[in-house]
Structure 1
């Protein structure tokens, strides 16, 4: 008899537990499981030294490899003290969280911060680098976070490879009119001529110049014929990313005659 009572008590306890798991609002007694519920997905995307285009970060200028960043620590905050954090591969460039009918995201605005970490899980960038805001009432909102170059430790001494393909009034070296025999290339940062990066050499249809300081610079090109006389010249505001995996730019040198200001 005692055993039967104990079994009945255990059975009653299990019923209570199962009932509580089946419903999300004990006060109303409603069941939260809803197969028709369309979950909300909050996506956090990050770019590194990003390219801004028409109100959005379209792509990264740099990659995680350029900074030897291994992980990205993502922190999402929202209404009703909502807090979620995770650490994922930096190379994934995005992560997301999904709610369900039993645990819906509160309505309101959400923000996210992304901090890049090295292989030892040590921060390489400032905490809460950049904040983006979305409203969960949007259809699957995305928070775009750009991690600017200036947020990296030691960015002032970083260098990168600048890749470009020169043309001369639309033609390559040999087909230009007149043909370009040699090219004088110079870089300026904050108006200061970087003599160590200056070069004068045979014209080529493509250039990879390494150890260029990162950030905004000015590129000057003076094209000379075989005599040698300056026949084309041009200056360009450029952006140099960290590391070697930088995009290739096209520069068409169209001005005739040059003034050498080195």
Structure 2
């Protein structure tokens, strides 16, 4: 759509990491005065690889929870070189995009990838921020038994009051049929969790990037891997159990579906 209006656009659905960063650098070749980022990859590249361009920049915005976490970490370390507005902190973003957009599009992505029946499934949601709220709400509405794993005590208490089971992930790992990470952190699901999961468990990530599920740890436990459907990789572990990773651990709502509906994205961009 942007190309039709004559706007230079560098993006290919399904592009590999090398092409992705090539496109980021092409965008930076335009010597931007404002940056509009989604996940902080552009700003991070600007600070670490293209710092000669920073003097041109007046300010920027960051759309996502994960991106804001990264940039605040950079700021605390004294490394952020220009002001950035955290769009994610706006009520018109997190109350609607995070909750209703992520809730719907995550369920949509997993359903398209697997064609599962949600009713009766034990769904483990790792993280109970606004995105976790939305996913839990939609999974419950489809008849799933929802278990929430949350390290922040007030949010965990909120999940209890919202009617969900709450427990440490190492306990939930033994029970879950479907696991969804939405925590904005690395290795949320780790080797110890894979070791106790039931045969046939499905693993999906809806947090930014592909680091919330520790894929190298999963690969270290598996003796074989095969793609059984588009966006579904079957890992057969040494003890015979099979775990199913969706979308290579990347954002499942973008990998296997179409992301958020445009109408809810409009509220964020506004």
TM-score, length-normalised on structure 1?
Answer: 0.25
Q: Highest Rg: 1 or 2?
A: 1
**Higher percent of residues as helix:** 2
**Higher percent of residues as strand:** 1
TM-score, length-normalised on structure 2?
Answer: 0.25
